[in-house]
Amino acid sequence: MPKYVKFAVQALFYAAFVAAIGVFSAWPVYRQIPEDSAQIKLSFNHGGGRLQDCRKLTSEELAKLPSTQRRPNNCARERQPIAVQMLVDGAPIYDAVLKPSGLSGDGQAETYKKFIVPAGKHTIVARLRDSKRTEGFDYESSFEVDLAPQQNLAIDFKAEQGGFLFR
């Protein structure tokens, strides 16, 4: 091969190399969720009530304990599981019982879930039970939303702020 042809082929090779780099550094384009849909993200940490009420120790029981550990109440640390439900336009999309975290079940329960829904108007109902009751819910919020395409609606829960927070 004559020298200039070699250089031309080298140039072509370099061009192909950097073209591949340029192209695959941003293409093919990726779409996380379908074009005319939106995302609802439900995520919170929340600690339910104690599973058992505290019990007053009898004086005999107290006497048996080492003096440094004498406390009048005996409280089991395990927390209540938390029941959560979410409905979009009346249809349940999430229905779960969240166990408390931690080895002895004394931590907060947590969840992090994503749901893809068509963009547009929806009624979202979120419910949560963290007490000993077996039916019904301690918190319930209903929310009318008009989701734009690609919108990310976050639903958080904070008991001290009154329950579910839509943001």
Binding region for another protein (CB under 8 A): 1, 6, 9-11, 13-15, 17-22, 24-33, 38-39, 41, 43, 45, 101, 107, 110, 112, 148, 150-152, 154, 156, 167
> At residue 20, what are phi and psi to the nearest 5 degrees?
-60, -40
54, 74 Cβ separation under 8 angstroms: yes
Work out the burial of residue 91: count CB atoms within 10 Å of its CB; fewer than 13 is exposed, 13-18 middle, 19 or more buried.
exposed
Instruction: State the minimum distance, in angstroms, from the CB of residue 94 to another protein.
Output: 16
Decide whether 65 or 148 has the Cβ nearer to another protein. Answer: 148
159, 150 Cβ separation under 8 angstroms: no
Decide whether 81 or 107 has the Cβ nearer to another protein. Answer: 107
DSSP H or E stretch at residue 20: helix 3-24
Instruction: State the minimum distance, in angstroms, from the CB of residue 131 to another protein.
Output: 23
Decide whether 1 or 91 has the Cβ nearer to another protein. Answer: 1
DSSP H or E stretch at residue 40: strand 37-46
Instruction: State the minimum distance, in angstroms, from the CB of residue 106 to another protein.
Output: 12
Instruction: State the minimum distance, in angstroms, from the CB of residue 64 to another protein.
Output: 35
